[in-house]
Amino acid sequence: MRRHRFTQVDVFGARALAGNPLAVVHDAQTLDDARMAAFARWTNLSETTYLLPPTDARADYRVRIFTPGGELPFAGHPTLGSAAAWLAAGGVPKDGRVVVQQCGVGLVRVRRDGTRLAFAAPPLVRTGPLDDALLARIAGWLRVSRGDLVAHQHVDNGPGWVAVMLPSAAAVRALRPDFGGCDVKLGVVGPEAPGSETAFEVRAFFPGPNGMFEDPVTGSLNAGLAQWLTDAGLAPPRYVAAQGGALGRVGRVHVERDGDDVWIGGEAAVCIEGTVAL
């Protein structure tokens, strides 16, 4: 066994311990796939990441992202949390203003945004409306009527997200789904009333090794939602989304559309530092 630097980061929280935790293993080039997968299962967090030397000269580091069920090509809160851990460990970006992360979908830029970090949303690999059969299944899983799904879209930036909009944020918060047989990664969004602290309420559901799982705060889903909603005129170019209330979290995702870029930002607080023997 070898000892590796280890960091645990809280991402997208409005305050400490209010967001989505991420485990980060540094200098992980001696670990094989089986060991990475085993440790991700052991942490039992939604994601565990492994920092590696980049293979693309433009990148500052390379990251591999594992859930307890397998590897992902991209995920949002692991992107911000990995960048925060890399910076806290003394990493210095080649471009002093922007960290460049290499991952399964390619290069992702991460910028410092005051006290926050923000990543540039990667291009969507699938867009377009959902078909009627899938919408009927989603309505059944969510225990709502088909008419309550007021808008819908594929918002896949690697993990495979599909998304539906309900009439209101209150309707999203009130959901008590029945996910028997669900086989998709599903995001649900609803608008808040004008003048509210946040513009949207978001919830994220996906199949896991022990059944359906709700994610506390989900960067990849919010990135896909932001691209869809701002393109469609359903959201302004700058807004804040809330997520995690159903799980006792206070997640806040800051969205900014700047030309062709959609930036997804949030706090990333290092909570645990030490070593892990793997």
> What's the average model confidence in pLDDT over 160-183?
95
Q: Is residue 125 very low, low, confident or very high in pLDDT (cuts 50, 70, 90)?
A: very high
- For the cut 90, the answer to whether the pLDDT of residue 278 exceeds it is yes
Mean pLDDT of the chain: 96
Task: Let me know whether 107 and 183 are in one domain.
Answer: no
Place of tokens 């670990």: 31
- Can you say whether residue 222 is alpha, beta or left, with left for phi > 0 and alpha for psi between -120 and 50 degrees? alpha
List pLDDT tens digits, range 52-81.
Answer: 999 999 999 999 999 999 999 999 999 999
- What total number of domains does the chain contain? 2
Is residue 54 assigned to a domain? yes
- For the cut 80, the answer to whether the pLDDT of residue 214 exceeds it is yes
Residue range(s) defining the domain that contains residue 66? 3-121+265-277
- For the cut 90, the answer to whether the pLDDT of residue 115 exceeds it is no
Q: Are strands 116-120 and 106-113 parallel, antiparallel or unpaired?
A: antiparallel
Task: Let me know whether 255 and 271 are in one domain.
Answer: no
The most confident of 162-166, 204-208, 210-214, by mean pLDDT? 162-166
Q: What is the pTM of this model?
A: 0.96
Q: Is residue 258 very low, low, confident or very high in pLDDT (cuts 50, 70, 90)?
A: very high
Q: Is residue 239 very low, low, confident or very high in pLDDT (cuts 50, 70, 90)?
A: very high
Instruction: Report CA-CA distances (Å) from 133 to 78, 137, 140, 185, 211.
Output: 32, 6, 11, 16, 22
Residues near 68 by beta carbon (within 8 Å), at least 6 away in sequence: 40, 41, 43, 44, 45, 208, 209
Strand partners, 258: 261
Are the C-beta atoms of residues 161 and 203 closer than 8 Å to each other? no
* CATH number reported for the structural domain that contains residue 251 in this entry: 3.10.310.10
Is residue 126 assigned to a domain? no
List pLDDT tens digits, range 179-201.
Answer: 888 899 999 999 999 999 999 99
Are the C-beta atoms of residues 30 and 55 closer than 8 Å to each other? no
Task: Let me know whether 158 and 255 are in one domain.
Answer: yes
**Dihedral, 106, 112, 115, 121 alpha carbons, nearest 10:** -40
Is residue 127 assigned to a domain? no
Task: Let me know whether 171 and 250 are in one domain.
Answer: yes
> What's the average model confidence in pLDDT over 215-236?
97
DSSP H helical ranges for the chain: 33-43, 76-88, 132-142, 169-173, 219-231
pLDDT at 114: 82
Task: Let me know whether 170 and 101 are in one domain.
Answer: no
- For the cut 90, the answer to whether the pLDDT of residue 90 exceeds it is yes
Is residue 144 assigned to a domain? yes
pLDDT at 152: 98
Q: Is residue 209 very low, low, confident or very high in pLDDT (cuts 50, 70, 90)?
A: confident
- CA 6, 11, 17, 22 torsion-angle sign: negative
Task: Let me know whether 201 and 151 are in one domain.
Answer: yes
